[in-house]
């Protein structure tokens, strides 16, 4: 099983302070923000600026570098919200924060490169159950109950379980009186929303949360 390592980076650098001899409009461009988002994240919030900015009455404007226009969900704090991030949401994004300082309109633009990723890796698991009968209908009912239990496990562990094959055959110990139901599963340790508890603006905390979640899922 392979695990894709996660690296998170944020924009660096503090905005320069305004000089007193301001032009009519002042603006800064901030480049180089890399953001990695899991492709099945249920909710991801990206701030307009990588650092906390205390300014009066700011306005925010998000754009994406793509031909087709897209509507964004933005919080009052200027955070861009991805409700269900998909690989197609990857791309270059820019956010401009505008405000007044000393009576002069000021704007700062932050650029992000957002990449959707998916952690690959899985296990093949085999479950063996003892049965007194090997009837098709009885086995189907048993598998239905088993799948229901597995769905509960998926929710609790944020994993993904897929039945790939089932077999029913006489047991070697008592072939006339006992049967074995063999169930083969493909287990993905990184199912939907496995990283939903890792949403934070502190990149160090996010990375640590991912590591703990991966260890827990394993």
Q: Which of 29-33, 38-42, 72-76, 172-176 has the lowest mean pLDDT?
A: 29-33
- Whether the CB-CB separation of 59 and 97 falls below 8 Å is answered with yes
Backbone dihedral angles phi then psi of residue 163, each to the nearest 5 degrees: -70, 130
HSE, side-chain direction, 13 A CA sphere, residue 30:
22
pLDDT tens, residue by residue, 126-177: 999 998 888 888 888 999 999 999 999 888 877 888 888 899 989 888 877 8
* Residues 113, 90: Cα–Cα separation, whole Å: 8
* Residues 213, 216: Cα–Cα separation, whole Å: 5
* Residues 214, 206: Cα–Cα separation, whole Å: 12
- Taking the model in full, what pTM does it have? 0.50
At residue 103, the pLDDT reads 84
Q: What percentage of the chain reaches a pLDDT higher than 70? A: 75
At residue 155, the pLDDT reads 83
At residue 25, the pLDDT reads 40
133 CB contacts (<8 Å, ≥6 apart)?
A: 179
Q: What percentage of the chain reaches a pLDDT higher than 90? A: 14
């Amino acid at each position: 099983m392979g695990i894709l390592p996660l690296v998170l980076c944020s924009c660096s650098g503090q905005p320069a302070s305004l000089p007193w001899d301001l032009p009519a409009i002042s603006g800064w461009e901030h480049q180089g923000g890399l953001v990695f988002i899991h492709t099945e994240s249920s909710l991801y919030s990206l701030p307009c600026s990588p650092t906390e900015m205390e300014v009066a009455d700011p306005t925010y404007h998000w754009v994406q570098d793509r031909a087709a226009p897209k509507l964004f969900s933005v919080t009052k704090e200027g955070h861009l919200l991805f409700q269900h991030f998909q690989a197609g949401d990857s791309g270059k994004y820019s956010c401009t924060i505008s405000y007044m300082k000393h009576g002069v309109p000021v704007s700062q633009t932050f650029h992000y490169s957002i990449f959707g990723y998916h952690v690959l890796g899985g296990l093949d698991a085999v479950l063996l159950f003892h049965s007194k009968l090997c009837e098709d209908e009885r086995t189907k009912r048993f598998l239905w109950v088993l799948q229901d239990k597995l769905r509960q496990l998926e929710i609790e562990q944020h994993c993904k379980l897929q039945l790939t094959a089932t077999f029913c055959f006489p047991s070697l110990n008592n072939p006339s009186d006992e049967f074995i139901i063999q169930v083969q599963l493909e287990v993905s340790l990184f199912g939907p929303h496995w990283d939903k508890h890792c949403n934070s603006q502190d990149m160090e905390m996010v990375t640590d949360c991912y590591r703990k979640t991966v260890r827990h899922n394993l």
